[in-house]
Structures are given as C-alpha cells and as structure tokens.
C-alpha cells in the first residue's frame, strides 16, 4: 500500500523548506504526494485562507506535511490540527552539536494539549468595556493526552513532568493536573508537577532537570518556544500534531518573510518533521536515518546563513540526501 | 509626616529577608512599621491564610513590604494585590555584575496587568467532564495600564513593547492590544508588538531587543520568570504592585523551604523591593542609594550561598547598610 501524504507549503519559506523535505521523503520511501494550498497567498486570490478541499485532503490523508502560513497562520493551522483530530502536539527541543546554543545540554520533548484551553476560542464582547474568553478543560481530552504521555515515556516505570498554573486556575488546570496524575498513577508512571512560571525560570537555569513535559495548550506553546530560545532558535524545531487516525507534521518556525524567496532557508526543522512523519507511519529505520543525516549535516555542514554558513537550502538538502544513500 | 509601612513577612525565608529589608529602610528614613500576618503558619493556627486585619492594614497603609507565602501563596498575594487596587505589577529583571547570568546583558522591566486575564478567577465545573474559566479583559484596565506604561517610559518620544497572544485570543487580547496601542498613539509613545510565544524565543536569543514589556497578567507572570532565568534566578528580582493610592512591594521569589530557617537567604530581591518602595514614596535619592548599595555588594561581596558565597543574610544586610552611611 502506498501511503498518501498531503503537502501544504503555505507561504514564505514554506515553499522552500517543504519541497526540500519532500525530496528527502522521496529518497527513502514510495509515497503518493498530493499538493494542497493554504495561507496568505490563497486568501489574496480566493478570499479564503483555508480552502475546503485542503481541509478535506488533510482529513483524509495518511499524513500531512505543512510548511508555514503568514498573517493567516491561526486561520490555517488551528483548523488543520482539528482536521486530523489532533489531541497532542509533540514538540522536541534539542540542541545539536555544531549549532550555537544558549544551553547546549537541552534535550526536551513537550507534549502540548492540542484542542482546548484558551484555544477553544469562545470569545464574547459583553459590553463596550468588557470582553471574555471561555477557557475549556475536559477530563476526556486530559485523559487522552495522559495515555499518550504514558506510552511516550515507555509506560510503567517511566516518568514525565507536568507544567500548569493550577494555583490560580484551580478548577480548570486543577482538572487537567488531577486527571493526568491519576492516569499516570494507574499506569505506574511517575509525574513531577511544576508551575509554568517556575518552569520558565528553572528550564533556563538547568534544562537537564526536565525531559518530557506535558502542558495545557498555551503553556505548551510558550514554554516550547522558550526551549527553542535555549537551543538556538526556531530553525531547528520540528513538531507533530497527532490524531487517532492521522497526523500533521510542521516545523515550529514561521514564514520568515525577511529571507523568503532567496533559497537560503534552513530546511532542518521541516526535514526533522518529515522524520517524525516517517516514524509515525511505521518507517522507524527510515525516520532514524533521516534524523541522523540531519544531525550529522548540522555538525559537519554545509549550513545556511541562520547558522553562520553560506549554503543554500538546496545544498543542505543534497548533503542530507547524500548521507541516506 | 511619618509614612506607615505595613510589613508582612509571611512564611519561610520571608521571615529572614523582610527584617533585613526593614533594617535597610530604618537606615535611610523615619517610618512607622506595622507588622501583620499572612500565610501558611497563620492558616495552620487560625484556619485563615489572610486575616481580615492584615487585608485592612495593607489597604490603609502608605505602602506594604511583603515577603512570601508557601502553599497559600495565591490565597494571600492575590487578595493583597486587590487590597491596594493594584493595576500594574512592575517587575524589573536585570543582570548584575558579579552575578553569574545566562544573559548578562539582560535589563528589562515587565509591566504586568495585575487585575484580570485568567486571574479574575471565574471558574465553573459545568459537568463531570468539563470545567471552564472566564478570562476577562476590559478597556478600562488596559487604558490605566497603558497610561502608566507611557509615563514609565517618559511620555512622548518613549517606546515600549507589548507581548500578547491576540492571534488566538482575538477578542480579549485584541482589546488589550488595541487599547494600549491607541493610548500610546495619543501620547506619542511608540509600541512594538510581539506575540508572547515569539517573545519567549527572542528574549533568550537577544534580550537587548527589548526594554519595557507590557503584558496581560499571565503572560507577565511567565515571561518575567523566564527573564529571571536569564539573569540567574529569582533571588534578585524585586517587584512593585502599584495602585492609585498605595502599593505593595515583594520579591518575586517564594519561601525557599529548602533553606528557610538557616539565616542564609539572599536578601537582595527584598531590599531592591524596598528601594522601589522608597522611590514610590518619593524618596528618590534614598531609593537610588539603596539600589546602588545592593549592586555594589553583589559585585564585591559578601554573598549568600545561592550566589556561590558563604555569607549569612545578616552579613550581606550589614554590608549593604554600611555602604549607606
Ligand atoms: C500560529 C499560532 C496559532 C500557533 C499556535 O499558537 O499554536 C503557533 O504559535 C504554533 O505554536 O504553532
Ligand atoms: C503565587 C502566584 C499566585 C503568583 C502569581 O501567579 O501572580 C506568583 O507566581 C507571582 O508571580 O507573584
């Protein structure tokens, strides 16, 4: 069976780094690629940032590789995460040898709740002075995330951390925390709790205190971007939006309008996202090979200007593919 | 007129660092000090973490110096911020010569909205599965914060940054952002907008990109603690909760139960909070002198174990007071 991978380049450097990652996927497997549009450019043309065909294609695909969207990012990526029913956003943040990092010992994975919190998006303009947002936390979503987290750390005997703000959001983050702790307890997995503000200080002082961090949606957004700062920027962070039946993979970075079109974007985050895609589809050896090829290219070069080199996206991609042969 | 300063030591090292800061205040001015209780110990005794007398004393004082509370922190500090009608939490995060910092060039001030956001605390348990929290943003609170921020940066010709998540919380953070931008516009103050997740990455990569950062309540909580990580920990961060008529000053750190009672807690954050108190009461020269005395003591020693020294709280306090003579 040939798996169908939907490819959404989006805007800016999405159109440069996604084709690079597709070339890498072609080098290791036999997939059917289906192109679909989303983002600022499509909106300018059609009035809609996310065409229904794209939503449907992503929902039906075995997996999707997404690049980045510009101004319309939230209008595109939030519905697409929903299209794959994604309950967890997996965000590894790892420093690589050869890359200048504020904390070279950083090696973390964030498991970010991906459907609710402030992202469930019920907002009301109650008066001229007052607006509200309804933040949502359910036991069911927290349970699903907790089961995933327990599997992720290898089940019984494993451990993870949970970062929350249940001292203030007692009922909602309290429910989140209690549910996760109780699932972990049943599964024989140890949980360390950290307040999200304390996490922000502590991860800077010593990131090796943590390994797998389970968070509500916005906490995961901010704390994983903080970890990106510790490993040298967003250019290296891949991510996976996992649903029960399919999944969407995307670099954590955006469209980088300052360098878009120049052919010098760093494709590493997107190629590492493709490695996560391979592993998700069961191609563990291929996924590992791609990750190793990216890592050794980061260590040995060539590298793009963001990492101090002068190579083009294409040069880096070729170097990675060469290592796969 | 002798100003009345309410002193709430709270729990843990609060009982060590607050008396140190009171000694410093006594060395530079003539104040009436009134002691009041709050925290875990009072709760254990009386069932209440925050006695009504303490609330009233803080509400009536010219200024309050607060230490830290343990498990009951949120039950104590959130009502006390309300007791002084505090609309802004001022949190400087500065690296000091002589102190090991991840980013020694850090010199930031966070102006955190101090009354609403997720802290307004309307939570509901809607079903066995579902809890909600109502996040509140008003134009009036945002305007008051914006006027303060404009004054803080010196009015016309000044500039500040605003960190928010209006791409997701469009109505609430949208209102926050639009109000602040419009006040700043009228005042001739320039505003740079940054998404709070992007801020987390960028401040690690280069904190000199920012100086004064205006944030919603939770964003200010987390991002200022992140900055604490860049300057070497919470031990050095003072803060001011400013209201229209009075104010409460507190170190950003907690009760540090691991070292409480040993007399080795670092008093710098609380003494720097006392410097902010002096300036708030109009004693600008005394405030500046205290700050300089803390800074030169940090540079020259003696210092407490958290900074690699072996001095006691008392030694550091004496060294600071000696410089004031
Ligand atoms: C674009 C935005 C809606 C998105 C988010 O907040 O999830 C982004 O910051 C991310 O982390 O992928
Ligand atoms: C103790 C807690 C309620 C408090 C807050 O979240 O404001 C603390 O983290 C702080 O920043 O002063």
Binary contact (A123, B172; C-beta < 8 A): yes
Atom of ligand 1 nearest to the CA of A225: 11
Alpha-carbon gap, residue B64 to B84, rounded angstroms:
9
- Strand order across the beta sheet in which A212-215 lies: A32-36, A4-10, A63-68, A247-251, A238-242, A88-94, A107-113, A212-215, A159-164, A190-195
CB A238 within 8 A of CB A251: yes
- For the stretch B171-201, pLDDT in tens is 999 999 999 999 999 999 999 999 999 999 9
H or E stretch at B267: none
Among B163, B166, B167, name the best residue to mutate to test ligand 1's pocket (greatest count of ligand atoms within 8 A of Cβ): B167
- Ligand 2: centre distance to CA B251 (Å): 11
The rounded average pLDDT for each run of 10 residues, N- to C-terminus, in chain B (325 residues) is 94 98 97 98 97 98 97 97 97 94 97 96 94 97 98 98 97 98 98 98 97 98 97 90 97 95 97 98 98 96 93 98 93
Range picked from A118-122, A193-197, B234-238 for highest mean pLDDT? A193-197
Q: In Å, what is the CA distance from B279 to each residue of B239, B269, B282, B288, B317?
A: 12, 15, 5, 8, 20
- With an 8 Å Cβ cutoff, is B208 touching chain A? no
> Which domains, from first to last, does chain B contain?
1-92+232-324 (3.40.718.10), 102-231 (3.40.718.10)
In this prediction, residues A21-25 reach a mean pLDDT of 98
Alpha-carbon gap, residue A310 to A296, rounded angstroms:
17
The pLDDT of residue A121 is 72
Interface of B with A in 247-276 (CB under 8 A): none
Contacts of B200 in chain A (CB under 8 A): 200, 222-223, 225-226, 228-229
**Residue A189 region by backbone torsions, left for phi larger than 0, else alpha for psi between -120 and 50, else beta:** beta
Q: What is the DSSP letter of A189?
A: -
- Which among A163, A196, A112 has a CA at the least distance from the CA of B229? A196
The pLDDT of residue A258 is 95
The pLDDT of residue A98 is 86
Name the pTM for this structure: 0.97
Q: Is A233 a residue whose pLDDT tops 80?
A: no
Residue nearest to atom 12 of ligand 2 (CA): B252
The pLDDT of residue B98 is 86
In chain A, the percentage of residues whose pLDDT exceeds 90 is 97
The pLDDT of residue B325 is 78
The pLDDT of residue A68 is 97
- For the stretch A24-38, pLDDT in tens is 999 999 999 999 999
Beta strands B63-68 and B247-251: pairing type? parallel
The pLDDT of residue A25 is 98
- With an 8 Å Cβ cutoff, is A135 touching chain B? yes
In this prediction, residues A269-294 reach a mean pLDDT of 98
- Which among B107, B94, B120 has a CA at the least distance from the CA of B216? B120
- With an 8 Å Cβ cutoff, is A128 touching chain B? yes
In this prediction, residues A74-86 reach a mean pLDDT of 97
Beta strands B247-251 and A238-242: pairing type? unpaired
CB A51 within 8 A of CB A293: no
- With an 8 Å Cβ cutoff, is A159 touching chain B? no
Alpha-carbon gap, residue B111 to B212, rounded angstroms:
7
Phi, psi of A211, rounded to the nearest 5 degrees: -135, -65
CB count within 10 Å of CB B116 equals 23
CB count within 10 Å of CB B176 equals 31
Q: Is A144 a residue whose pLDDT tops 90?
A: yes
Please provide the average confidence, as pLDDT, over all residues in chain A.
Answer: 97
- Ligand 1: centre distance to CA B233 (Å): 28
Contacts of B171 in chain A (CB under 8 A): 123-125, 131, 133
Buried residues in B134-162 as b, exposed as e (16+ CB within 10 A): bbbbbbebbbbbbbbbbebbeeeebebbb
- Ligand 1: centre distance to CA A119 (Å): 10
The pLDDT of residue B233 is 77
Q: What is the DSSP string of A8-61?
A: EEESTTHHHHHHHHHHHHHHH---EEEEE--SHHHHHHHS-SS-HHHHHHHHHS
């Amino acid at each position: 069976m040939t798996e169908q991978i939907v490819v959404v380049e989006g805007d800016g450097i999405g159109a440069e780094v996604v084709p690079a990652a597709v070339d890498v996927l072609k080098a290791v497997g036999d997939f059917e690629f289906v192109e679909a549009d989303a983002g600022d450019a499509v909106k300018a043309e059609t009035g809609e940032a996310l065409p229904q065909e794209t939503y449907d294609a992503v929902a039906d695909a075995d997996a999707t590789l997404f690049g980045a969207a510009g101004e319309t990012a939230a209008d595109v990526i939030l519905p697409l995460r929903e299209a794959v029913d994604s309950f967890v956003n997996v965000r590894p943040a790892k420093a690589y040898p050869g890359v200048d990092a504020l904390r070279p010992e950083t090696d973390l994975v964030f498991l970010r709740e991906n459907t609710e919190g402030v992202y469930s998006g019920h907002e009301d303009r109650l008066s001229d002075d007052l607006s509200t947002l309804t933040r949502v936390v359910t036991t069911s979503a927290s349970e699903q995330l907790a089961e995933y987290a327990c599997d992720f750390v290898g089940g019984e005997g494993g451990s993870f951390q949970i970062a929350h703000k249940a001292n203030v959001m007692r009922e909602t983050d309290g429910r989140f925390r209690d549910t996760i702790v109780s699932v972990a307890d049943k599964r024989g997995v140890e949980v360390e709790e950290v307040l999200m503000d304390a996490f922000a200080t502590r991860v800077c002082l010593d990131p090796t205190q943590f390994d797998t961090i389970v968070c509500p949606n916005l906490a995961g957004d901010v704390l994983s971007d903080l970890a990106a700062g510790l490993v040298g920027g967003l250019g290296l962070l891949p991510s996976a939006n996992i649903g029960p039946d399919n999944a969407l993979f995307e670099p954590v970075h955006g469209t980088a309008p300052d360098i878009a079109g120049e052919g010098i974007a760093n494709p590493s985050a997107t190629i590492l996202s493709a490695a996560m895609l391979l592993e998700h589809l069961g191609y563990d050896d291929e996924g590992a090979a791609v990750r190793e090829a990216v890592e050794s290219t980061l260590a040995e070069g060539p590298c793009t200007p963001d990492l101090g080199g002068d190579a083009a996206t294409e040069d880096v991609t070729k170097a990675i593919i060469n290592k796969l042969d």
